[in-house]
A and B are shown apart, each in its own frame.
Chain A
Amino acid sequence: MKGQEIPDQHHIARYCGALQCPNGQIQATAFFLRKDEETLSVNWMEFLNCTNREGEITQLRNIYSSKFTRVAAGVKIAVLNVGDVRKKVFAESPDRRDLKVLHDPELNDPSHSVMHNLKPDYELIAELILQTIREEYPART
């Protein structure tokens, strides 16, 4: 349902472009917003309704292949726990930032979700989010 808050115990995945992963290492820039963006796109992994992580990653790869014209070799998927991210950012950002992660389904991407409240000072917030990455996978096999 659009606007539903994703529970803290659930997980989200972020598509990290090759330019944000030099030498295969995800950098804070993977969680940066564009000038005209207010929210960060992610995918709600539990919404994919798979029995294991491997299935979720396969589904994500299929979604990316259908959404983007090309998924470059260096692109990675970062898996994060919603509660980890929210708690870390709230506890460690100077303004005790309260991030929200909401379901925002798209026609060709029903698990699409968005993270709100990254601006202003998104560089520091992105550095904190970076420290909460739990797992990383290549975005294409």
Chain B
Amino acid sequence: MDEPNPQIRERFEATRKVGRASMAYGNKSLAYSVYSSGYSGYPGYITSGYSGYGVSGYSLYPNAWSGENITFRQSAFVNQGDYEVSEESSFPIPFTQANLLSYEENQIQELIFRIRTFPSISCKELANRLLALFNYAKEEGASIAINSFRDFYSFLRLNPHLQCPTISLTPEYNIYVSWKADQNRVFSLHFLSNGDVRYVIFKPNERHPERQIRVSGSATIDILQETVASYGVWDWISVSETATIEIFQETVASHGVWSWVSE
């Protein structure tokens, strides 16, 4: 058999470790959201906002994502080897490398589908660009890093009204997006797989036009916008908010308008 892709092998090992670690807690039922997994630093911010958008694509990808909340029941077989854990799960835990890859691919396809159907995302081309990268990665026997993709998706949900970025994958298959304008304006984001995003900003120095300001740093997605606010990045990567009549209410919902105009 061919030597497995190192990226897949690494994630497989990580999954095995998570499986082993969870055994130490004995009998318990765990109900957790697939969107929240891995986001212990800011739980639930991905899940918020799903209701009401009417995305009905779940049935298209029945293998792994049959719903948002999944219940695991684990029994105590502590420290008795790698897999002596009894589980009743409505969700197939990917304990083989092939299953892991397929499980992650399903999640990524599901998220791309959501990006495609999410009405507020200004860049309609985004889903196609991501799908192209997904297919390229598949040709290499790999997949986009799922945690990086989830972070990118969260970022989009928080900031839907952005111009289309250029998207590429890092050698670790993380998402890297970049906006460029003029000769000397760059804003790039590297969605690491640990919940952090690293940013790079190049912008003109307004007082000294012949010079450029260059900064980089890292932040979590929820505070990224305020972290880089002083560099005025959002002014030039955003598109003005417009909406058709059909989606107007949900577009302005996040601004709380309906609560006071309905009275």
Contact pick for A92, options B129, B139, B214, CB 8 Å: B214
B98 to chain A minimum Cβ distance, whole angstroms, is 20
Contact pick for B214, options A20, A33, A124, CB 8 Å: A124
Q: From known contacts A27-B178, A28-B178, A123-B190, infer whether A22 and B171 are also in contact, taking CB-CB under 8 Å.
A: no
Contact residue range for chain A? 20 to 34
Q: Which of these binds chain A: B48-56, B99-107, B130-138, B224-232?
A: B130-138
Which A residues are in CB contact (< 8 Å) with B188?
28, 123, 127
Contact pick for A35, options B172, B202, B216, CB 8 Å: B172
Whether B140 sits at the interface, judged by CB under 8 Å, is yes
A20 touches B169 (CB 8 A): yes
- What is the bound-complex CA distance between A27 and B129, given in angstroms? 14
Which A residues are in CB contact (< 8 Å) with B214?
92-94, 124
Contact residue range for chain B? 20 to 34
Which B residues are in CB contact (< 8 Å) with A32?
170-171, 176
Whether A18 sits at the interface, judged by CB under 8 Å, is yes
B186 to chain A minimum Cβ distance, whole angstroms, is 6
Which A residues are in CB contact (< 8 Å) with B156?
none
- What is the bound-complex CA distance between A20 and B170, given in angstroms? 7
- What is the bound-complex CA distance between A124 and B137, given in angstroms? 24
Which A residues are in CB contact (< 8 Å) with B169?
19-20, 29
| CB nearest to B137 among chain A residues | A19
Query: Would you give 14 A-B contacts (Cβ < 8 Å), ordered by A?
Result: A19-B169, A19-B173, A20-B168, A20-B169, A22-B132, A28-B178, A34-B171, A72-B139, A94-B214, A121-B216, A123-B198, A124-B200, A127-B186, A127-B200
Residue positions of B touching A, CB distance < 8 A: 129, 132-133, 136-137, 139-140, 166-173, 176, 178, 186, 188, 190, 198, 200, 202, 212, 214-216
3 tightest A-B CB contacts, nearest first: A27-B168, A19-B169, A124-B216
Known: A18-B136, A19-B137, A92-B212. 9 other contacts (CB 8 A): A19-B140, A28-B176, A72-B136, A92-B214, A94-B215, A123-B176, A123-B216, A124-B214, A127-B200
